Chains A and B, each alone.
Chain A
Amino acid sequence: MSSTKEEAPAVRVLGLWASPFVIRVLIALRLKGVEHEVLEEVVGKKSELLLRSNPVHKKIPVLLHHGKPISESLIIVQYIDEVWSSNAPAVLPADPYVRAVERFWAQYIDDKFPRGIRILKGTVDGNKDEIVEQLSTALQLLEEAFLKLSNGKHYFGGDNIGYLDIALGSHVGWVRAVEKIAGVQLLDAAKVPHLVAWADRFCAHPAVMDVLPDADRFVEYSVKYGSFFPTRSSTTK
């Protein structure tokens, strides 16, 4: 007698579609062609599985690989790159120095953008003008970094998207959404033309387009969930 036992998929992601940190994980998995199941959390109510899988932070995203949990989006992306190292393309650059530079900028991005976006969205109090100034400066620096790292090619990673493309690109949805919500310009073609062109290319990339919706959907989400929006307390970095 043959019995088919229903097994949980080898790779599962606990997440919320609107979280840039979750989006990073999904892009990396799609880039590597890794089959996975996405378990969408309910906004404002954390699942038992999430609480069990990330007891320290209780935040999404969590990657479950054969049941073993990995947390923190950038750590998950590196894990995916290392486990599926034989699947092209490589996410982290091969050269250790370039790798260190990309890691530096990814950390810089997470120091500036999440908080800045929350303030511009209005979920957290802050000086909006100051934030626009800070984020514009950050984007200026990233524009210069793009020119150095891309070497005339399409992405920070060169011919294909890589770690830094994913780290910054995952924030594009909310950046464009807060431009509408707060009535400000961040991805300004006059100031950061290469980044603007890069952002369009990134969003159209096959590994990205189905998991990074248009700005309007993020705006709708913001309106719908208002005070329920996952703040610092429920999404991790």
Chain B
Amino acid sequence: MAEKGVKVFGMWASPMAIRVEWALRLKGVEYEYVDEDLGNKSEALLRYNPVTKKIPVLVHDGKPIAESTIIVEYIDETSKDGYPLMPVDPYERAQARFWARFAEDKCNAALYPIFVTTGEAQRKVVHEAQQCLKTLETALKGKKFFGGDSVGYLDIIVGWFAHWLPVIEEVSGASVVTDEELPLMKAWFDRFLAVDMIKAALPDRDRLLALNKARREQLVSSA
């Protein structure tokens, strides 16, 4: 019997997995969520994504797709009548993809060092991360959301910052997204987290805090 429906293989604390959930929720698509133990990956996950073995993986009627940014575009293309995620204009689409790549390649890499450093070393990497986020901030350009008046593809890709960064800041004792340095981004954080479909899929903050506290202790002590 052919497999039907939508399954998401993810992990509750993963920012990449949440993008997929946000996209599906905005489209009103029902899905089954499979929470993976990354230290002991399921046979199903390894079967669906033998190449990178990573989450998230979307399985649609038995067919698997990996890589969150690719999954989000796929969701948009297969639910054309639903909520629009990608811009319509090709130039705007190219811009959205460009900034998504920038956020993935540069901003993520700039944020991680904050998590594993302390003192002067941390101050240096915080400054670098802020420069990166300031560049990304230019894409907001006086709009409510990266997508314009409503949440779009780019908001979904970088939106995890809004929930995870304050946790990382608290755990690491750093201030990154402040009113002084990144006012537009900070304001967007609040607007983004206020959107119902977004709020509905956020992992519990305390649980996220505890997980990241433990991880930081481990990483800093072994540095």
B interface, over-half SS:
helix
Question: Of B63, B73, B97, B135, which contacts A72 at CB under 8 A?
Answer: B97
- What chain B residues lie within 8 Å of A76 (beta carbons)? 94
Interface size grouping (class) on chain A: 20 to 34
Choose one: B51, B63, B97; the contact of A108 (CB below 8 Å).
B51
Q: In the complex, what residues of A have CB within 8 A of residue B94's CB?
A: 70, 75-76, 78-79
In angstroms, Cα B105 to Cα A107, docked, is 12
Say yes or no: A70 contacts B91, CB within 8 Å: yes
* Interface of A: prevailing SS: helix
B128 at the interface (CB under 8 A from A): no
- Indicate whether A191 reaches chain B with its CB closer than 8 angstroms: no
How many residue pairs between the two chains, A and B, have CB atoms under 8 Å in the bound complex? Answer: 54
Q: Which residue of A lies closest to B97 (CB)?
A: A75
CB-CB under 8 A from B71, the residues of chain A are 100
Of B51, B73, B97, B98, which one neighbours A100 at CB under 8 angstroms? Answer: B73
Q: How far is the CB of B178 from chain A (nearest CB, A)?
A: 23
From A65, A71, A79, give the contact of B93 (CB < 8 A): A79
Q: Give the total of B residues in contact with A, Cβ under 8 Å.
A: 22
In the complex, A183 has a CB within 8 A of chain B: no
A99 interface residue (CB < 8 Å to B): yes
Q: List 23 A-B contacts (CB under 8 A).
A: A56-B135, A65-B91, A68-B91, A70-B98, A72-B101, A75-B94, A75-B101, A76-B94, A78-B93, A79-B91, A79-B93, A82-B90, A96-B77, A96-B78, A97-B65, A100-B70, A100-B74, A101-B65, A104-B51, A104-B66, A104-B67, A104-B70, A108-B52
Q: Which A residues contact B (CB, under 8 angstroms)?
A: 56, 65, 68, 70-72, 75-76, 78-79, 82-83, 96-97, 99-101, 103-104, 107-108, 141
